[in-house]
Amino acid sequence: MSGNAFWQQLESRAVGESVPLQEALAQIPWNADGLIPAIAQQHDTGEVLMLAWMNRAALEETLARGRVCYWSRSRQQLWRKGESSGQVQVLKEARLDCDGDTLLLLVDQTGPACHTGRRGCFYNLVQGERLVVDQSVLIDPANLYGK
């Protein structure tokens, strides 16, 4: 079954029906770099924290260990959230969207999620003709990363 057909057949499934996880992972339409976007959202408040990328190894590690791991495009290596800052993300729930090309990770975020020291990465608010910073720095990045 092609990847597209796999996701289409899930559209007609009833609540509670399932497919094997490994079968679903094999049908994810990874991009040309073998990645899929992953949105991290605070599980109890709904706050959108960040968007990052995962390859299959990062996703499998996240699901197996319950601690979120991404793929760093800049460093070209696995990036275990919080490994240098201590600001970890514990996975509470993982979801794939309707066509399997985006992940939603419901997490319990310790401290700031953003490398800027802010709670989330979406702190630039478009307000009319202005871009307004609407979140304060919680922890100085120099203290987060020891730079």
Which pLDDT score, from 0 to 100, does residue 147 have?
Answer: 53
Which pLDDT score, from 0 to 100, does residue 145 have?
Answer: 75
Q: What is the pTM of this model?
A: 0.92
Beta-carbon contacts of 86 under 8 Å, excluding residues fewer than 6 positions away, are 110, 111, 144
Helices (H), the chain: 3-11, 21-26, 56-65, 141-145
Which pLDDT score, from 0 to 100, does residue 141 have?
Answer: 87
pLDDT above 90 covers a percentage of the chain that reads 86
Beta-carbon contacts of 118 under 8 Å, excluding residues fewer than 6 positions away, are 112, 135, 136, 137, 138
Question: Which residues sit opposite 89 in a β-bridge?
Answer: 109
> Which pLDDT band holds residue 8 (cuts at 50, 70, 90)?
very high
First to last CA, the chain: 49
> Which pLDDT band holds residue 9 (cuts at 50, 70, 90)?
very high
Does 3 have pLDDT greater than 80?
Answer: no
Q: What does pLDDT average to over the chain? A: 94
Beta-carbon contacts of 71 under 8 Å, excluding residues fewer than 6 positions away, are 35, 52, 53, 54, 55, 57, 58, 77, 78, 79
Count of helices and strands (H, E) across the chain: 4, 8
> Averaged over 115-142, what is the pLDDT?
95
Which pLDDT score, from 0 to 100, does residue 24 have?
Answer: 94
pLDDT, tens digit, 9 for 90 and up, residues 48-59: 999 999 999 999
Q: Which residue has the tokens 């979120």?
A: 68
pLDDT, tens digit, 9 for 90 and up, residues 92-113: 999 999 999 999 999 999 999 9
Beta-carbon contacts of 69 under 8 Å, excluding residues fewer than 6 positions away, are 54, 58, 61, 62, 78, 79, 80, 81
What six digits make up the tokens of 34? 């073998």
Which pLDDT score, from 0 to 100, does residue 119 have?
Answer: 95
